[in-house]
């Protein structure tokens, strides 16, 4: 799932960039705009650019402080100030590219970005999402040089997003059965995005990013347990039971609908294959889920608050 909305704001450790090739500076020495800069991928992309000495403009509805600017997908008056002087842009649509109307909105933004002088645009997308793939195609029409990072289900959904609470409770109940997924480490997504934002060699590419192995959700909680020492059980439930639980937790109907879409249209086995997108972009293998779990074990050390 590529949603940037259900995200913890708890500070994370310093980014680990692995063995990526050192990128070039931003084109023309200008500013790189990062949309969704408080989200799981956006904040990692912005932090990496900062570490490289690349001027960054962090943009979101909630971001504040030096080098940041307000941005709202539903308020197009915020787009031009965010794009002003930017030479590259990382585009993470919230709540998710899969929602109706997202392709049209993202395409209008991509057209505005090109008109404003943006030369590199990186679009975060999701595997198996019909609307997301439609957005990719329409963005390519107005911004042919764009780079797409099309991602599998985020590993970090278990450590800093909507699945953290159930893991801390010790029971992960989801309507997925024995479906397998090549969960991708968001650190890999950020590495690929930064490479594409800072190097012309990625223009026009579509990188499908996955982890190196297929895992069931039962195997995922076993990996989490082995890394953290926490006992976690996976329990398959029906979609209606899952939806009722979301509503009981106070989630609004639009979020419940998005989650139902995820677990019926995306996590239905269609993504049960690995790809070499990380290697294509970076020349190295993707991080395994076990590596992610060991690195993030502290996220599961406490109790649900």
Spell 74-104 as b/e; 16+ CB within 10 A means b. eeeebbeebbeebbbbbbbbbbbbbbeebbe
Strands 206-209 and 147-151: parallel
Alpha carbon distance 68, 192 (integer Å): 22
Torsion of CA 81, 56, 91, 39, to 10 degrees: -110
Query: Is residue 16 within 8 Å of 187, Cβ to Cβ?
Result: yes
Note the pLDDT of residue 251.
87
pLDDT exceeds cutoff 60 at 70: yes
Assigned token pair, 247: 């509503």
Alpha carbon distance 86, 142 (integer Å): 17
Which residue is it, tokens 């979609």? 239
Torsion of CA 252, 257, 263, 266, to 10 degrees: -130
Nearest C-alpha neighbor of 233 from the set 243, 245, 219, 244: 219
pLDDT exceeds cutoff 80 at 10: no
Report residue 13's pLDDT band, with 50, 70 and 90 as the boundaries: very low
Note the pLDDT of residue 138.
98
Nearest C-alpha neighbor of 147 from the set 280, 242, 31, 238: 280
Alpha carbon distance 129, 271 (integer Å): 10
Note the pLDDT of residue 278.
98
pLDDT exceeds cutoff 50 at 21: no
In percent, the amount of the chain with pLDDT more than 70 equals 90
Alpha carbon distance 21, 86 (integer Å): 24
Average pLDDT over residues 199-206: 97
* List of domains in the chain: 27-154+186-209+273-286 (3.40.50.720)
Alpha carbon distance 158, 138 (integer Å): 32
Alpha carbon distance 9, 259 (integer Å): 21
Note the pLDDT of residue 115.
98
- In whole angstroms, how far apart are CA 114 and each of 87, 118, 192? 9, 5, 21
Assigned token pair, 56: 């960054």
DSSP summary character for residue 147: E
Average pLDDT over residues 267-278: 94
pLDDT exceeds cutoff 50 at 184: yes
Q: Which of 24-28, 40-44, 251-255, 273-277 has the lowest mean pLDDT?
A: 24-28
pTM for this entry: 0.90
Note the pLDDT of residue 5.
44
Note the pLDDT of residue 14.
36
Note the pLDDT of residue 76.
97
Alpha carbon distance 277, 189 (integer Å): 10
Average pLDDT of the chain to the nearest whole number: 90
Note the pLDDT of residue 35.
98
Report residue 266's pLDDT band, with 50, 70 and 90 as the boundaries: confident
Q: Which of 17-31, 86-100, 107-121, 164-178 has the lowest mean pLDDT?
A: 17-31
Average pLDDT over residues 42-46: 97
């Amino acid at each position: 799932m590529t949603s940037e909305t259900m995200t913890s704001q708890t500070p994370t450790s310093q980014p680990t960039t692995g063995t990526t090739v050192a990128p070039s500076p931003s084109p023309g020495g200008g500013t790189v705009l990062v949309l969704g800069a408080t989200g799981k991928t956006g904040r990692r992309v912005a932090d990496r650019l900062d570490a490289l000495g690349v001027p960054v403009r962090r943009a979101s509805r909630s971001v504040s402080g030096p080098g940041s600017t307000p941005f709202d997908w539903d308020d197009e008056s915020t787009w031009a100030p965010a794009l002003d002087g930017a030479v590259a842009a990382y585009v993470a649509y919230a709540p998710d590219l899969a929602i109706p109307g997202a392709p049209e909105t993202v395409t209008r933004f991509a057209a505005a970005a090109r008109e404003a002088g943006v030369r590199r645009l990186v679009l975060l997308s999701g595997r198996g999402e019909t609307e997301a793939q439609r957005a990719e195609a329409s963005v390519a029409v107005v911004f042919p040089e764009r780079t797409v990072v099309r991602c599998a289900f985020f590993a970090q959904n278990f450590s800093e997003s909507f699945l953290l609470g159930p893991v801390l409770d010790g029971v992960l109940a989801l309507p997925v059965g024995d479906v397998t997924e090549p969960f991708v480490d968001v650190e890999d997504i950020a590495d690929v995005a930064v490479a594409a934002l800072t190097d012309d060699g990625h223009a026009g590419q579509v990188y499908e990013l996955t982890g190196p192995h297929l895992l069931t959700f039962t195997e995922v909680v076993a990996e989490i347990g082995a890394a953290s020492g926490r006992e976690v059980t996976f329990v398959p439930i029906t979609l209606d039971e899952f939806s009722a639980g979301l509503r009981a937790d106070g989630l609004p109907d639009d979020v419940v609908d998005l989650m139902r879409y995820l677990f019926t249209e995306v996590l239905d086995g269609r993504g049960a294959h690995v790809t070499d997108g990380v290697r294509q972009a970076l020349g190295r293998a993707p991080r395994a889920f076990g590596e992610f779990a060991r690195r993030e074990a502290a996220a599961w050390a406490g109790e649900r608050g």
